[in-house]
Amino acid sequence: ETVSYGHPQRLRYTLDNDLLTPEQRLFYEENGFLLIRNLVSKQDIDRFRGEFERICRQEIKVPGLVVMRDVAIAKSEFVPDQRAVSKVQDFQEDPELFRYCSLPKILKYVECFIGPNIMAMHTMLINKPPDAGKKTSRHPMHQDLHYFPFRPVDRIVCAWTAMETVNRQNGCLVVLPGSHKGTLQEHDYPEWEGGVNKMYHGVRDYDPEHPRVHLEMEKGDTVFFHPLLIHGSGMNQTQGFRKAISCHYASGDCYYIDVKGTTQENIEKEVKEIIVRRHAVGDELTFKDTWAIRGRLVQGERISM
Ligand SMILES: CCCCCCCCCC(=O)SCCNC(=O)CCNC(=O)[C@H](O)C(C)(C)COP(=O)(O)OP(=O)(O)OC[C@H]1O[C@@H](n2cnc3c(N)ncnc32)[C@H](O)[C@@H]1OP(=O)(O)O
Ligand SMILES: Nc1ncnc2c1ncn2[C@@H]1O[C@H](COP(=O)(O)OP(=O)(O)OP(=O)(O)O)[C@@H](O)[C@H]1O
Ligand SMILES: O=C(O)CCC(=O)C(=O)O
Ligand SMILES: [Fe+2]
Ligand SMILES: [Mg+2]
């Protein structure tokens, strides 16, 4: 292990591997994210896009899929486009979209962060709509770990791939470099006048003066980031739907935790309320069950997840 020689504590967020250069490894250690240009092919992205459009047109039905519409559109009397889907989640039962989560190019990088046993825990295709005028297309600054009742935190990573040019105009990712070295913050709905999308919690005491980096990306560019990295995305000021596909991975030997008495209690409560409303089940389905049901092994062994 040449990079860490004499500095055994320095490499906490990455594992020994033959893929990352020492510079890339140190970049992730210091910043909590790593951007790899042109990782996913245009052909693959076009296929994911085609599948998403078939889902939107309701030509196929995917078991377990959660379809979300922007709150400004969902609650508007003057619906600009009844069809406007802002996000689909949990596409693990869609073989075409789920192919993204198993792409060898992606998994090679994921392995550098979480090791060879890889579970795909959470899948999303985000179709950020043109802002309806109330800034509801923004995603508040947050840490993804807020949603996850599993640990250890350093064996979780997100892969997020731009499906087209993503820039400040259409609402690229915004990150606070180095924030992954902190702890999980309290999250709550931000006090935004125009409304906030369901479950779009933000860090409670977010400091808008903190140095930020806008991640402008081209089609196929992929960013890997740590679940404590504080990030969000801006308003979409264009007329197009800004598309990205993502998967959160965890090591097969992660373990579930009970979030009772922690800052995550509020999101657990919301998730349970939605499940009860949608599936007419009671308390017997726990927060961690909802994750164990969704999780899929994509490499190695499923040990404790
Ligand atoms: C499960 C944990 C998630 C893990 C995330 C990992 C890290 C990623 C971080 C995030 O992405 S955070 C944001 C994640 N957001 C979600 O997971 C929300 C998922 N969306 C849903 O569950 C549904 O789309 C939703 C419950 C919001 C609506 O479902 P329905 O299909 O039942 O909608 P319906 O049209 O029947 O509307 C029901 C109510 O919800 C309202 N609604 C619909 N879309 C909304 C929206 N986007 N925001 C707020 N409210 C919304 C709608 O107006 C209506 O309100 P009223 O009851 O007052 O009439
Ligand atoms: N139900 C939907 N909700 C949200 N976005 C959608 C939906 N259906 C399609 N889209 C997306 O909205 C954009 C416009 O879709 P649309 O199907 O109108 O295609 P288009 O680019 O206008 O081409 P065409 O002129 O052939 O219709 C595309 O980016 C598409 O992926
Ligand atoms: O694509 C985006 O806008 C970011 C979404 C995001 O951070 C999330 O859903 O956790
Ligand atoms: Fe996020
Ligand atoms: Mg059209």
Is 300 or 82 the better-scoring residue by pLDDT?
Answer: 300
Q: Region 210-220: what's the mean pLDDT?
A: 97
Question: Which ligand 2 atom lies nearest to the CA of residue 241?
Answer: 29
Q: Is the ipTM of this complex over 0.85?
A: no
Range with the poorest average pLDDT among 72-76, 190-194, 202-206, 269-273: 72-76
68 ligand 1 Cβ < 6 A: yes
Pocket test for ligand 2, best of 53, 170, 239 (most atoms within 8 A of CB): 53
Nearest residue (CA) to ligand 2, atom 22? 240
Per-residue pLDDT at 2 exceeds 80: no
Cα 157 to the chain's mean position, in Å? Answer: 9
Pocket of ligand 3 (CB under 6 A): 124, 126, 128, 139, 144, 173, 231, 233, 244
240-292 pLDDT, tens per residue? 999 999 999 999 999 999 999 999 999 999 999 988 888 777 677 889 999 99
How far is Cα 2 from Cα 14, in angstroms, rounded to an integer?
Answer: 14
79 ligand 1 Cβ < 6 A: no
Per-residue pLDDT at 229 exceeds 90: yes
150-188 pLDDT, tens per residue? 999 999 999 999 999 999 999 999 999 999 999 999 999
Q: Which residues surround ligand 4, an ion (CB under 5 A)?
A: 144
* Residue 74: predicted pLDDT: 78
Q: Which two tokens stand for residue 179?
A: 């924030």
Cα 298 to the chain's mean position, in Å? Answer: 17
Q: Which two tokens stand for residue 90?
A: 């949990």
244 ligand 1 Cβ < 6 A: no
Report yes or no: 270 and 257 within 8 Å, Cβ to Cβ: no
Per-residue pLDDT at 92 exceeds 90: yes
Beta strands in the chain (DSSP E): 33-36, 66-68, 87-89, 118-128, 139-142, 150-151, 156-162, 173-175, 187-188, 202-203, 213-215, 222-225, 231-233, 242-251, 255-256, 296-299
Burial class (CB in 10 A: 0-12, 13-18, 19+), 160: buried
Q: 23 CA distance to ligand 3 centroid (A)?
A: 26
110-122 pLDDT, tens per residue? 999 999 999 999 9
Q: 256 CA distance to ligand 2 centroid (A)?
A: 39
Residues of the chain with pLDDT > 90, as a percent, come to 82
Range with the poorest average pLDDT among 86-95, 203-212, 257-266: 203-212
Tell me the whole-structure pTM to 2 decimals.
Answer: 0.90
- Averaged confidence pLDDT in the chain: 93
How many Cβ atoms are within 10 Å of 270's Cβ, its own excluded?
13
Per-residue pLDDT at 140 exceeds 70: yes
DSSP code at position 301: -
Pocket test for ligand 3, best of 124, 136, 175 (most atoms within 8 A of CB): 124
Helices then strands, each counted (H, E), the chain: 7, 16
Pocket test for ligand 1, best of 71, 189, 198 (most atoms within 8 A of CB): 198
Per-residue pLDDT at 3 exceeds 80: no
* Residue 281: predicted pLDDT: 72
The band of 1, judged by pLDDT with boundaries at 50, 70 and 90, is very low
Report yes or no: 89 and 294 within 8 Å, Cβ to Cβ: no
Nearest residue (CA) to ligand 3, atom 1? 126
40-75 pLDDT, tens per residue? 999 999 999 999 999 988 899 999 999 998 888 777
Scan for tokens 């062994």, then name that residue.
Answer: 301
Q: 7 CA distance to ligand 4 centroid (A)?
A: 31
Report yes or no: 196 and 142 within 8 Å, Cβ to Cβ: no
How many Cβ atoms are within 10 Å of 228's Cβ, its own excluded?
21
127 ligand 2 Cβ < 6 A: yes
Q: Region 92-97: what's the mean pLDDT?
A: 98
Q: Which two tokens stand for residue 116?
A: 């060879």
- Please list, in sequence order, all residues whose beta carbon lies within 8 angstroms of the beta carbon of residue 286, skipping any fewer than 6 positions away: none
* Residue 126: predicted pLDDT: 97
DSSP code at position 118: E
